[in-house]
Amino acid sequence: MAEPTWLIYGATGFTGRLVAAEAVRRGLSPILAGRNGDAVFALAEELKLPARVFTLDTPEDVRRGIEGARLVLHCAGPFVRTSRAVVDACLDLRAHYLDITGEIAVFEAILSRDAEAKAAGVALVPGVGFDVVPTDCLAALLLQDLPDASNLDLAFAGERGSWSAGTLKTAIEAMPSAGAVRRSGRIVGVPIAFDVRDIVFSNGRRTTVTIPWGDVATAYHTTGIPNIRVYAGMPPQQIDQLKRLARLLPALRVTAIKRLAQWWVGRTVKGPDEKTRATARAYLWGRVWNDRGLAVTRTMETPEGYTLTAIAAIECASRVLADRVKPGAWTPARAFGAGLAESLPGVTVGDVLRGV
């Protein structure tokens, strides 16, 4: 059976290239797409894949660009600026939509379109990368362990990892918003570095700090747990620097300053090198507890975050193309099951620890 027509938009970005290479490694032939014609055609020639060039500037541009595609895997952030146009076109053209966002506002916007997705007969699945496949699955597993959980804490810590330019541009786009948690089912803003705590991962104890990770949105949709915090491992000196950064956040309300900061990131940040991506690990931890004081803890280990993103995104796209997901707007764990992360190569889940 011939492979359905599908495309990767943003294929020439740092993460998009990794996703495209993973597709080729798995014997798939997506159309590579983006707005920079020279870069798109060069990569397409390198990987021996078809290419399309189009912008997201107008609805007509997007519709022409994805016409005939059964699925779009969107990798061009910041998604708060790019996702709406692609989702709209996918719904109009009855094409499935997946992306690798980690942005709370984007998750909330896309997951609110469940009825539209069902009417169009397509799946909308945001966050099919490191944001948020492993943490979303960890949250779902913890709910199975303690079905009446009312509180959920999630945490992750990298090993020798670094951020890509695209990830940092997305973080800048969200500013001056500093932090977010979920309380009583509602997302609420909190100060930057709102809470600091030590957490014991499978590789040892790490200092962590609250961040506005995508699970503040998605874990609620996956589990219904009303109180959620997400922490990231960070050295204490960096946490102190993060708190001092709070004084500069008001300046990022000015669009020109925000764009200048993103330009500088694009010129200076390269992301983790190939050796790091191949050898580093990411460590995850999750804990739920209920109103009776019962608690359950689990850990997980995965490949380095960008490596995991490429693996997870292509696996999820493959499952959607194989009609293994019902129409609707889904978190990864709801679309593919709590075992999705554990099914990926290099991912392991620790034993259940009760009462801790």
What confidence score (pLDDT) does residue 1 get? Answer: 56
Q: What is the DSSP letter of 151?
A: E
List, for residues 219-229, the tens digit of each pLDDT value: 999 999 999 99
Q: Which pair of structure tokens corresponds to residue 126?
A: 């945001």
Strand partners, 230: 154
- Tokens (6 digits) for 262: 């993103």
Four-CA torsion 222, 340, 83, 51, nearest 10 degrees = -170
CA dist 39 and 43 (Å) reads 6
In terms of CATH, what superfamily is 6-129+307-338?
NAD(P)-binding Rossmann-like Domain (3.40.50.720)
The per-residue pLDDT for 245 is 59
Instruction: Identify which of 150, 168, 193, 173 has the alpha carbon closest to the alpha carbon of residue 104.
Output: 173
Residue 209 structure tokens: 């700090």
Per-residue pLDDT at 171: 47
The beta strand positions in 10-121, using DSSP E, are: 31-34, 51-53, 71-74, 96-99
Place of tokens 């009417």: 119
pLDDT for 234 equals 80
CATH 1.10.1060.10 applies to domain 133-305+342-354: no
Measured CA to CA, the distance from residue 26 to residue 59 in angstroms comes to 32
pLDDT at 255 (0 to 100): 58
- CA dist., res. 96 & res. 88, Å (int): 11
Question: Per-domain residue ranges for the chain?
Answer: 6-129+307-338, 133-305+342-354
Determine the pLDDT at residue 170.
45
Residue 246: per-residue pLDDT: 59
Residue 161 neighbours by CB distance under 10 Å: 18
Per-residue pLDDT of the chain (356 residues; tens, 9 = 90+): 568 899 999 999 999 999 999 999 999 999 999 999 999 999 999 999 999 999 999 999 999 999 999 999 999 988 999 999 999 999 999 999 999 999 999 999 999 999 999 999 999 999 999 999 999 999 999 999 999 999 999 999 986 544 444 444 444 444 445 688 999 999 998 887 788 999 999 999 999 988 889 999 999 999 999 999 999 888 777 767 666 655 655 554 545 544 555 455 455 555 668 888 888 999 999 999 999 999 999 999 999 999 999 999 999 999 999 999 999 999 999 999 999 999 999 999 999 888 76
240-274 pLDDT tens trace: 766 665 565 555 454 554 455 545 545 555 566 88
Amino acid at 235: P
Q: Give the Cα separation of 174 and 80 in Å (integer).
A: 8
Residue (of 37, 34, 41, 38) closest to 14 by Cα position: 34
DSSP string covering 57-68, please? SSHHHHHHHHTT
Q: Is 268:314 a contact under the CB 8 Å cutoff?
A: no
